[in-house]
């Protein structure tokens, strides 16, 4: 499993910085590219975004649509006579009735035709301020060298007309995107890129003009393509009249293509690693099932002869006094070993019945912990020293599992450690809290998890891991844990509440 995790981490480190190779935020990536282009390219005009609409309060003068002819907004029977009069200037063609929305238009054309010597005093200040042909009345007058006086230009001219004086022709779609604050605006052979700059007055937004060829050149080293939007065309992101797409793999920079190939190879390797891991996991599960089945068979078969041996020993007990001394000693050993064999069979059954909650323990009262642990360490002879409690106490514990754990830890210390081996009991507030097996070895042992994981594998040279795995499970079933400390090396079963 660890190789798979390493491979995933490698892919993340390799490809996260480059958005072309993983899921990325198009808007964020495009903003980065635009920032780079606007800072590197030779810039033309600069527009202050805040000044585009400053001072314009009339909705007609901010509507990009009204920059287009919009005579079709009026009824045909109302607009047709007016158009005819504007073409002929004959009084006979004057409309007999004019709706309110066209009265200002009629005044303007009567003035142009000479029927009026001058316009009303507040003609340009009154609404509507846009002629149906898409030009403001103020602009029409300016083109005839009759500019309105006494009024601010932003009060009577359309914002698009004012911008065109500064930057040249501006399509209605580009004007719309500028007024909407789009991050990028396509206008003829120029691209307007919005930039955010911090100044003493705070954040300042400006639009900088970049020629279309320079803009395209700035995209050459990226994975992005930008072209005018066409209805029905797929885009990863559409910004105003501009459509953003990703380049085909063949057009990507060589470094990006190399990363794609490397990423594909890593993914293939990851797939192979996962397949190997899955196969080994299945084999391990199958092996565990076989071992469990074998243990079930052995447990079942052992219980019958154990029972028979116990019955035979009970029959022999009546003849104990008449046996020679050597036979009596042999009989006692048989009794002890039969009890031990019975405990093994019972422990195997308990292990097979173990659930997610752990082993099923059978605690019983032990009147003297010193005597109990002395009996368990006696078979090891002088190689093992028990440090008895200064004040002996009793306790409750599972005799079989405690003996199994102690024996395993002592044998590990004798095999892999250095003499002498000492066993110390752990207490807290006058209560039994486990024990420690310590040897004189100074070599730094690996971490406990590593020892257990190594021992869980088939190892012809032997090791302490498999036994430690069982000891840790038993300690957890007792409500405690298995600990390893160094200098000197010591394994401890610490039951809940134990710290000494």
Q: Which two tokens stand for residue 217?
A: 């050149």
User: What is the model's pLDDT at position 381?
Assistant: 86
The stretch 189-210 carries a mean pLDDT of: 81
User: What is the model's pLDDT at position 350?
Assistant: 64
The stretch 310-326 carries a mean pLDDT of: 80
Report how far residue 284's alpha carbon sits from residue 278's, in angstroms, rounded to the nearest whole number.
Answer: 10
User: What is the model's pLDDT at position 257?
Assistant: 58
Judge whether 476 and 356 are in contact, CB under 8 Å.
no
pLDDT digits (tens, 9 = 90+) for 281-304: 888 888 777 766 666 666 666 666
User: What is the model's pLDDT at position 435?
Assistant: 94
Residues with Cβ within 8 Å of 60's Cβ and at least 6 positions away in sequence, in order, are 66, 127, 128, 129, 130, 158
Query: Residue 3 pLDDT > 70, yes or no?
Result: no
Stretch among 205-219, 237-251, 259-273, 442-456 having the lowest mean pLDDT:
442-456
Residues with Cβ within 8 Å of 448's Cβ and at least 6 positions away in sequence, in order, are 468, 472, 482, 483, 484
Split at pLDDT 50, 70, 90, the class of 42 is low
User: What is the model's pLDDT at position 499?
Assistant: 42
The stretch 109-119 carries a mean pLDDT of: 88
Stretch among 134-143, 297-306, 399-408 having the lowest mean pLDDT:
297-306
Query: Residue 413 pLDDT > 70, yes or no?
Result: yes
**292 or 450, greater pLDDT:** 450
**163 or 442, greater pLDDT:** 163
Split at pLDDT 50, 70, 90, the class of 247 is confident
Determine the topology of domain 364-494 in CATH: Heat Shock Protein 90 (3.30.565)
Indicate the burial class of 75 (C-beta count within 10 angstroms; 0-12, 13-18, 19 or more).
exposed
pLDDT digits (tens, 9 = 90+) for 387-400: 999 999 999 998 88
Split at pLDDT 50, 70, 90, the class of 370 is very high
Q: Which residue has the tokens 């499970």?
A: 473
Split at pLDDT 50, 70, 90, the class of 235 is confident
Backbone angles phi, psi at 482, to 5 degrees: -100, 130
User: What is the model's pLDDT at position 295?
Assistant: 66
Report how far residue 63's alpha carbon sits from residue 19's, in angstroms, rounded to the nearest whole number.
Answer: 38
User: What is the model's pLDDT at position 460?
Assistant: 43
Query: Residue 356 pLDDT > 60, yes or no?
Result: no
Judge whether 135 and 202 are in contact, CB under 8 Å.
no
User: What is the model's pLDDT at position 368?
Assistant: 93
Query: Residue 255 pLDDT > 60, yes or no?
Result: no
Split at pLDDT 50, 70, 90, the class of 33 is confident
The stretch 24-39 carries a mean pLDDT of: 82
The stretch 312-333 carries a mean pLDDT of: 81
The stretch 50-60 carries a mean pLDDT of: 79
Judge whether 388 and 423 are in contact, CB under 8 Å.
no
Split at pLDDT 50, 70, 90, the class of 1 is very low
Report how far residue 76's alpha carbon sits from residue 132's, in angstroms, rounded to the nearest whole number.
Answer: 13
User: What is the model's pLDDT at position 424?
Assistant: 94
Query: Residue 437 pLDDT > 50, yes or no?
Result: yes
User: What is the model's pLDDT at position 166?
Assistant: 84
The stretch 401-411 carries a mean pLDDT of: 89
Q: Which two tokens stand for residue 117?
A: 């010597």
Query: Residue 203 pLDDT > 70, yes or no?
Result: yes
Report how far residue 44's alpha carbon sits from residue 211's, in angstroms, rounded to the nearest whole number.
Answer: 8
């Amino acid at each position: 499993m660890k190789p798979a995790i390493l491979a995933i981490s490698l892919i993340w480190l390799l490809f996260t910085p480059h958005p072309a190779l993983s899921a990325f935020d198009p808007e964020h990536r495009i903003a980065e590219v635009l920032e780079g282009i606007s800072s590197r390219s030779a810039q033309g005009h600069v527009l202050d975004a805040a000044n585009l609409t400053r001072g314009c309060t009339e909705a007609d003068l901010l509507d990009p649509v009204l920059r287009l002819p919009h005579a079709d907004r009026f009824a045909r029977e109302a607009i047709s006579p007016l158009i005819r009069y504007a073409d002929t200037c004959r009084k006979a063609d004057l409309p007999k009735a004019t709706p309110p929305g066209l009265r200002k238009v009629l005044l303007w054309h009567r003035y142009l035709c000479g029927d009026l010597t001058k316009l009303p005093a507040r003609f340009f200040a009154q609404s509507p301020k846009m002629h149906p042909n898409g030009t403001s009345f103020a602009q029409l007058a300016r083109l005839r060298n009759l500019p309105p006086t006494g009024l601010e230009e932003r009060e009577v001219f359309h914002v698009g007309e004012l911008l065109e004086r500064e930057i040249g022709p501006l399509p209605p779609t580009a004007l719309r995107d500028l007024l909407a604050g789009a991050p990028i605006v396509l206008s003829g052979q120029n691209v307007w890129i919005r930039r955010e700059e911090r100044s003493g007055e705070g954040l300042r937004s400006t639009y900088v003009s970049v020629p279309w060829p320079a803009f395209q050149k700035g995209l050459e080293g990226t994975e992005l393509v930008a072209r005018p939007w066409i209805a029905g065309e797929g885009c990863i992101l559409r910004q105003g009249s501009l459509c953003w797409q990703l380049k085909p793999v063949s057009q990507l920079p060589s470094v990006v293509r190399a990363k794609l190939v490397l990423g594909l190879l890593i993914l293939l390797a990851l797939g192979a690693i996962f397949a190997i891991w899955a196969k080994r996991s299945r084999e391990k599960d199958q092996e565990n099932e076989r071992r469990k089945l074998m243990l079930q068979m052995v447990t079942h078969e052992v219980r019958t002869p154990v029972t028979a041996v116990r019955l035979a020993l009970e029959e022999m007990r009546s003849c104990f006094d008449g046996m020679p001394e050597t036979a009596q000693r042999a009989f006692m050993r048989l009794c002890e070993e039969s009890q031990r064999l019975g405990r093994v069979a019972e422990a195997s059954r308990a292990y097979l019945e173990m659930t997610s909650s752990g082993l099923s323990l059978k605690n019983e009262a032990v009147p003297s912990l010193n005597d109990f642990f002395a009996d368990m360490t006696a078979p090891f002879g002088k190689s093992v020293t028990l440090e008895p409690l200064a004040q002996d106490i009793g306790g409750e514990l599972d005799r079989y599992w405690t003996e199994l754990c102690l024996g395993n830890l002592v044998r590990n210390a004798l095999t892999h450690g250095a003499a002498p081996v000492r066993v110390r009991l752990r207490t807290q507030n006058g209560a039994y809290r486990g024990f420690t097996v310590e040897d004189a070895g100074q070599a730094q042992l690996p971490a406990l998890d590593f020892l257990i994981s190594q021992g869980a594998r088939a190892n012809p040279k032997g090791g302490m891991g498999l036994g430690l795995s069982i000891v840790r499970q038993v300690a957890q079933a007792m409500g405690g844990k298995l600990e390893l400390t160094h200098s000197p090396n010591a394994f401890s079963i610490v039951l809940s509440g134990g710290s000494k």
